[in-house]
Structure 1
Amino acid sequence: MRPCLVTAAFLSVASALVHATTPLSTSPVAVNATAVAPPPSLDPQCYLMPILVLHPSPPLPTLDCVQPPLPSEDCIKATVSATLRVLQHPTDEWTCLHDPTTSTTANMSLRVRYRGDSSLRFTKHQYLLMFDVPTPLLVMPADTNWALHGPFIDGSMMRNHLAHWLYRGTGRYSPRSQHVALYIADPNGVPIYHGYYLLLETISYGPNRVGLALNVAADSDHSGGWAWQYNPLKYGTYSPNVVLDMYHGKFGMGARPLLMYPPGPTLSQRMRDEFVNVSTGFLPQYYRYLWHNMTSPLALKQHIDVGSFVDYFLHTEWSLNQDAYAKSAYFFKDRQRPIEAGPVWDLNLAYGLGSHAHADTWLYLAHPAWRRLVCNFEFANLAIARWKALRQSVWSDMAVVTFVQASASPLQRNLAKCNDWMSRQDSCASVSRSNQGTYVDQVSFLQAILLERANWMDIRMEQLYQKLDGAICGTVGDLPAFNCAEDGNDSGCLTSPAAYYSNVRFPPIRPPDDGTKKTDMQQLEQASAYDSPSIDPCWLAMGQSVTAGVWVLPERTQRDVCVQQPCDIV
């Protein structure tokens, strides 16, 4: 067994971005009956959106919490019990915190904790809401986990809201969202305003979200559902113990995926072995196809749902999301189906805020697997045709501007009550002081970057057709000469592109699985230990601490037994 090494990349910690804000705004429990209430348009505790009132008990941890002995979860992510009330006026556009006619849900019991990594050090936290049973919130269907995303760097407060709306426009699932005003009760029960948040579905795999087939140890078919993402390993997460060979190093980013579905403790050893098997596992086989079989382009769809990768590619390039190809990158595979890309997630630094704010290039060029896909004629044809079709409908300039303006309107009307729109006073945004200008300026910048990048792609989309070589596709394996057609020597798309993309049919989108047990699913007659749920230490991350380093279990180069102890830190 080779030594287990944790590189310096695992030890790096995002620098804290803490910005001074005005004091927290506390809210009275009752209003003087003799006082004349101001109209809602002037009352800072009235909102053009629902109000969420969260009562954690005990209080959520603070940055100076006491860290348990390692390995363990970061103490600031400790889960606490809570109740939640949702306020929404039944008829009026304004919902007021202190209005007795406001419709309110009963106190819903749940658990809550902070979420995020670098954002843990922001003064505006992100929250994960966890219900024991599927629970609907506002107009969104029932599920157990929900995110409260607090826009902080994003002064428009709309980037995630916009990104998910755009992705749903392709006909695929992306988390639904709604802006809310968030109050959190202090230890005395007084609601304290925390700013505007986006109530957001988390990525999960039940019938109301991605919708994957059940995948349980007792079944004989473990081809799906599976789901994974790429992100730094965290304490208690499950990570397939993939073979880190040259194929995975080249096209799998050299990283261990994080298992999202099924839950890690429900896996049998047979399921784990089938996932990582280099001869039959769907990920190892996909990477080997990209290396060896680029001159057999029609075989690509045996490994991936090409349409889903095209939609993910177009959305990522338009959004300028610097993380989407390598971090916060989600994938899944339903039963008896190829791998699909998505849904999209974590767009805080998209649309002009990240390191690629005004990129005059394609982002995919830095990622070998995606470069390989563009060199496949079916992918290239579908990408060009799909972009042109979407730009004439749900992704048109008019559709996008209309959505941005409609989403900004209630926020802008609320912010009109604020002398200091970035502050944490009631009705104000509670965003970073790094934002510049007015709220209208922030929305205008978002809208401008959207149209600028879309226009850039409009001009260059047909240039995805290329004469291929190692500099474009990567230097491993044999390559076709062009990515025009099945015949790799066909160069006609370089001079007559429309003749190639105009006749392609976009693949049908997979309908979500309802998650019920299929009556025709064959079960194992007798479950041996090999086919029973178990824990494999090779798949279980031992932990990470924001302040004290990272521990992960050994990576493997062959079938061997992991040592159940933290790795040496080097």
Structure 2
Amino acid sequence: MKLQMTVIPVLAFGFLAAGCGGSDADLQLPSLGSGGAAGSGGAIESAGGSGGAGGSGGMNGSGGSGGVGGMGGVPAPGVLPVLVIDTQGNTIVEEVKVDAMMYVVENHDGTLKNIEVAPRTFDGPIGIEIRGSTSSGFPKKSYGVEIRDAVGQDTDAPLLGLPAESDWVFYGPYSDKTYMRNKLAYDLGRAMKRYQPRSRYAELILDGAYRGVYLVIEKIKRGLHRVPIAKVATDAVAGDITGGYIFKREAGSAQGGWFSAAGTPWQFHYPQAADILPQQTNYLKGYVDDFETMMAGPQFSDPATGYKEWLDVPSFIDFAIVQELSKNVDGYRKSAYFHKDADSDGGKLHMGPLWDFNIAFGNADYCGGAPTAGFIYLANACVDMQQIPAWWKRLMMDPAFTKELRCRWESLRAGAFSDGAMLAMLDEYRKATKEAEVRDHETWKVIGTKLWPNDYVGQTYEDELTYLKTWITERAAWLDANMPGTCP
């Protein structure tokens, strides 16, 4: 198959120019097309894999050719595709997507001055909203985007070489001044050969204003190219109500979900709270209560009735490894996703996909997030923070679990999680974003400024990147010496 040219995206939401190196007159953009999801500039065959947890497609995460975890293709340095969005006078708000138009340019000269003559790989209507909890308060916003057809219904379309879907996240790195922490976590997770969100860097332009470097991320949802679980029955009487489900542990509130009998806040994700049927709600609540009771009970490690009968253990191990390597202060307590197969597909409870690492990898000045020593699953002495579920500590006390954990860690350290491999990933991210980083940090003057919750404040971008590189190698070395378990 033909491969798409691996330039990195510019997200353009209408266009123009703070810190772009040109005047408004230099940056004249054509009006947005009125067509549907098809690109007006001719289709470019996607380099993104169409199956399963396919490769991350190189450091720009453009997909891969199928299978799981491969890393083919490297972006042209410094050239990011452009997404141009025009809200047509609508104000973007939280939780309700407003109508807008978007076109995408992936092959251009990198100056952001000649977008109008470049072919488009997407041209059509979208819905857009502000997203994020803490991040929604940052000046540089993140957005949820839904691809729509000509009559306003959601429709699947490939975006930036990624497999076709309707729902996307345009994440705007702000307090993570390297732009790398989320992408690194997702790509490390994909190297473990299981589904994690694919992502690509881009620059964003919104209603005539340059908005900087963004990361386009697959939204977590059920689907052929996303979380591979069965579609839950829409008829709860005739159908199978045992799965599939996606739900998450979220801090502090059961809005859109429930509190379990153990007092844990959970939120529905698939089906959403507005769509889940009463019988499905009752089943899932009962299942979670039974799971937490088992984990708190004296037989939790029993081979026949304990956690091994309930959990897809390798997914829990991989989740823990990424949380511990990144020392993610939120990792076990919020944005912690689970998915459950239908009983006819095995019925196991899986951890993941991974989500939200912008304050990980040494970027948090609280809850023990900055020092490279110490386990984050034990970090419960944190003010105003939801407690980490006690069953993580129980799992870490079980010799069978820690043996698998240790062996998995050692295997990964010999490959994708070696110092050399991880530093090479960071170098490729830097190569991909180097030119755009200058524009971004001329627009958002955050270098040298302490933002919530930075522990380290570098005086240059290179300072920030050096800190991240040093932190991750020191953290991995500490885990080499302290990861629990013995691998024969």
TM-score range, shorter chain: 0.7 to 0.9
Structure 2 regions of 5+ residues with no counterpart? 1-16, 29-76, 148-153, 381-387, 451-456
Question: Which residue in 1 is equivalent to 2:140?
Answer: 124
1:263 is displaced (CA, Å) by: 3.0
Question: Which residue in 1 is equivalent to 2:241?
Answer: 222
What SS does the aligned partner of 2:212 have?
strand
Stretch deviating more after TM superposition (373-382 or 358-367): 358-367
CA 1:267–1:88: 2 relative to 1, 3 Å: closer
Q: Which amino acid aligns with 2:441?
A: M
> 1 CA distance for matches of 2:356 and 2:188?
14
Cα deviations by residue, 1:143-165 (Å, 9 ceiling, x for unpaired): 11111111100111111111100
1:196 is displaced (CA, Å) by: 0.6
Q: Calculate the aligned-residue CA RMSD, in Å.
A: 2.7
1:47 is displaced (CA, Å) by: 5.3
Question: Which residue in 1 is equivalent to 2:46?
Answer: none
Q: Is the 8 A contact 1:297 1:376 kept in 2?
A: no
What SS does the aligned partner of 1:96 have?
coil
Superposition map of 1:45-194 within 5 A:
48-61=79-92, 76-89=94-107, 94=110, 96-131=112-147, 132-185=154-207, 191-194=208-211
CA 1:314–1:47: 2 relative to 1, 3 Å: closer
What SS does the aligned partner of 1:151 have?
coil
Cα deviations by residue, 1:284-307 (Å, 9 ceiling, x for unpaired): 234324323145245321111111
Calculate percent identity across the aligned residue pairs.
27
> 1 CA distance for matches of 2:477 and 2:158?
39
Question: Which residue in 2 is equivalent to 1:390?
Answer: 412
Q: Is the 8 A contact 1:322 1:350 kept in 2?
A: yes
1:309 aligns with 2:316: yes
Question: Which residue in 2 is equivalent to 1:344?
Answer: 354
CA 1:414–1:294: 2 relative to 1, 3 Å: closer
1:274 aligns with 2:291: no
What SS does the aligned partner of 1:399 have?
helix
2:294 paired residue among 264, 288, 293 = 288
Structure with the greater relative contact order (CA < 8 A, sep ≥ 6): 1 or 2? 1
> 2 CA distance for matches of 1:28 and 1:287?
63
What SS does the aligned partner of 1:257 have?
strand
> 2 CA distance for matches of 1:405 and 1:269?
50
Question: Which residue in 1 is equivalent to 2:328?
Answer: 321
Structure 1 regions of 5+ residues with no counterpart? 1-22, 34-45, 62-74, 186-190, 249-253, 466-496, 503-570
> 2 CA distance for matches of 1:124 and 1:108?
24
1:399 aligns with 2:415: no
What SS does the aligned partner of 1:221 have?
coil
What SS does the aligned partner of 1:133 have?
coil
Q: Which amino acid aligns with 2:462?
A: V
Superposition map of 1:441-452 within 5 A:
441-452=463-474
> 2 CA distance for matches of 1:334 and 1:313?
20
CA 1:234–1:103: 2 relative to 1, 3 Å: farther
Question: Which residue in 1 is equivalent to 2:68?
Answer: none
1:238 is displaced (CA, Å) by: 3.0
CA 1:414–1:79: 2 relative to 1, 3 Å: closer
CA 1:85–1:432: 2 relative to 1, 3 Å: farther
Cα deviations by residue, 1:222-243 (Å, 9 ceiling, x for unpaired): 21101111225789x631464x
Question: Which residue in 1 is equivalent to 2:250?
Answer: 231
What SS does the aligned partner of 2:87 have?
strand
What SS does the aligned partner of 2:233 have?
coil
1:25 is displaced (CA, Å) by: 5.2
What SS does the aligned partner of 2:322 have?
helix
> 1 CA distance for matches of 2:321 and 2:124?
40
Q: Which amino acid aligns with 2:99?
A: S
> 2 CA distance for matches of 1:96 and 1:213?
43
Question: Which residue in 2 is equivalent to 1:19?
Answer: none
| TM-score of the aligned structures, taking structure 1 as reference length | 0.64
> 2 CA distance for matches of 1:95 and 1:87?
13
1:353 is displaced (CA, Å) by: 0.5
Question: Which residue in 2 is equivalent to 1:204?
Answer: 221
Stretch deviating more after TM superposition (379-388 or 104-113): 104-113
CA 1:111–1:323: 2 relative to 1, 3 Å: same
Q: Is the 8 A contact 2:301 2:307 kept in 1?
A: no
Q: Is the 8 A contact 1:226 1:334 kept in 2?
A: yes
Question: Which residue in 2 is equivalent to 1:213?
Answer: 230
Bigger radius of gyration, 1 or 2?
A: 1
Q: Which amino acid aligns with 2:331?
A: A
1:117 is displaced (CA, Å) by: 1.7
Q: Is the 8 A contact 2:316 2:351 kept in 1?
A: yes
Q: Is the 8 A contact 2:310 2:348 kept in 1?
A: yes
Cα deviations by residue, 1:281-339 (Å, 9 ceiling, x for unpaired): 25423432432314524532111111100000111000010001001111110112211
CA 1:430–1:98: 2 relative to 1, 3 Å: farther
> 2 CA distance for matches of 1:325 and 1:32?
45
Cα deviations by residue, 1:521-558 (Å, 9 ceiling, x for unpaired): xxxxxxxxxxxxxxxxxxxxxxxxxxxxxxxxxxxxxx
1:96 is displaced (CA, Å) by: 3.1
1:30 is displaced (CA, Å) by: 5.2
> 2 CA distance for matches of 1:225 and 1:32?
48
| TM-score of the aligned structures, taking structure 2 as reference length | 0.74
